[in-house]
Structure 1
């Protein structure tokens, strides 16, 4: 009887160890999320605000308070089209970006009507150090973030294209913006937006586990960006990597998470890439 119990116990220990080893191995095969926002400061980011030089955080527009990355305008008398962007200092090519955001408060005086509860995540963005003082937006693909007014429908995770074009439904798409198929997120609720970016091939906008917009072949071209250095805009060039920017367009917004899974190590193995993407979403 004692031998049987010992044998059973030993077998259980071995099975448990095998399970732990199996789970550990599975975890080790997955990329760990990189916390672009560290919850303490923006030392890993570079601000670029229109009418100001790269690196100047005019009026403390971008700040960290209470563990949140906040966009605020209490230092502005009036907005004066001082569109701002905060760029993470490392460029990426293949990744899953996950952002948790919420709109709060009132729009600053002078903000355009279309910019009410409007912000964005710029993908494959221009290096902020190459942006001219008066440039309004980085050449980039924008995952547009919008909030609802409590009554009307207003999709979020849309697409806008400052200085860029994409291929949508197998055709070159040259208008500035297009809507996703998302629902409307009203009030000050937290929203989680994901962007799957695979170099110069496919980009997907994802909300609540559902793809709400998909397009391909992001490339430099078109208009909707002003006062840029022409050398930074070789039209027709595919965008296969770039910087991630968070936007300030005149309405206060909070970010509590900005994390990224680097998928570049898997880009040459489609089967493995698809497996990893499925597991991290």
Structure 2
């Protein structure tokens, strides 16, 4: 009986340790991340698109590009706390990212979880694909247009809610669960999207510079592996 109890406690402790969240941003510098900014190619004097300021990870919005994690991940929950400090605008979190500059010479192959003001939680398919209920209704497309991730495909999948975002300048919490071929997104506690049959189940994580300054105070991951 003692042996069984010790074994059970050991398993419980191991499970608890395994589920500890890991911060992907250390609050000091961009260790663990690499910037991919096409406009900076061959121009070492180009101002950075991503900086650390007052303990925050900041996407300055311009020049356009991505801050990409050095490591790839699978089966996890990503929690991102962000805000637009000055102006409403555009940004996104890309998951299951792989080939850099796959689309338009800019966007890595991935599924984008949209952060654009008013549209947080939309999916954008970038070379990869994902399915949601009510696909015909929630994926704007022209007659005959393919629902895929290519340049001419219907790549946008609308979120489930309006009004989940906080007012400009306030902090939002976005939770993205990637488990196998499933992606579930919450914004400030609201379920805003849920897709299945994703064509990629692992990859890197990327944050965008897409025209507007965005501050991040948390980029934290918790493993969902059994």
Instruction: Classify 1:100/1:57 alpha carbon distance in 2 versus 1 (closer, same or farther; 3 Å).
Output: farther
* Larger fraction in helix: 1
Whether contact under 8 Å (1:48, 1:85) holds in the other structure is yes
Whether contact under 8 Å (1:127, 1:243) holds in the other structure is no
Structure 1: any 5+ residue segments left out of the alignment? 1-20, 74-78, 107-115, 148-153, 220-238, 267-281
Corresponding residue of 2:186: 206
What is the distance in 1 between the residues matched to 2:112 and 2:217?
Answer: 20
TM alignment of 1:2-151, pairs within 5 A? 25=13, 28=16, 30-53=18-41, 58-72=46-60, 82-106=63-87, 117-128=89-100, 131=101, 135-147=105-117
Corresponding residue of 2:3: none
Whether contact under 8 Å (2:86, 2:168) holds in the other structure is no
Q: Which has the higher contact order (CA 8 A, sep 6+)?
A: 2
TM-score of the pair, normalised by structure 1 = 0.63
Greater C-alpha radius of gyration: 1
What is the distance in 2 between the residues matched to 1:251 and 1:242?
Answer: 25
What is the distance in 2 between the residues matched to 1:38 and 1:252?
Answer: 20
Structure 2: any 5+ residue segments left out of the alignment? 1-8, 136-145, 149-153
Shift of 1:26: 8.8
What is the distance in 2 between the residues matched to 1:125 and 1:58?
Answer: 25
Determine if the alignment matches structure 1 residue 177 to structure 2 residue 156: yes
1:24-79 Cα offsets, whole Å, 9 max, x none, are 8497355111100110100210100123349x794121000100001126xxxxx5
What is the distance in 1 between the residues matched to 2:189 and 2:16?
Answer: 24
Corresponding residue of 2:5: none
Whether contact under 8 Å (1:167, 1:217) holds in the other structure is yes
The count of corresponding residues between Structure 1 and Structure 2 is: 198
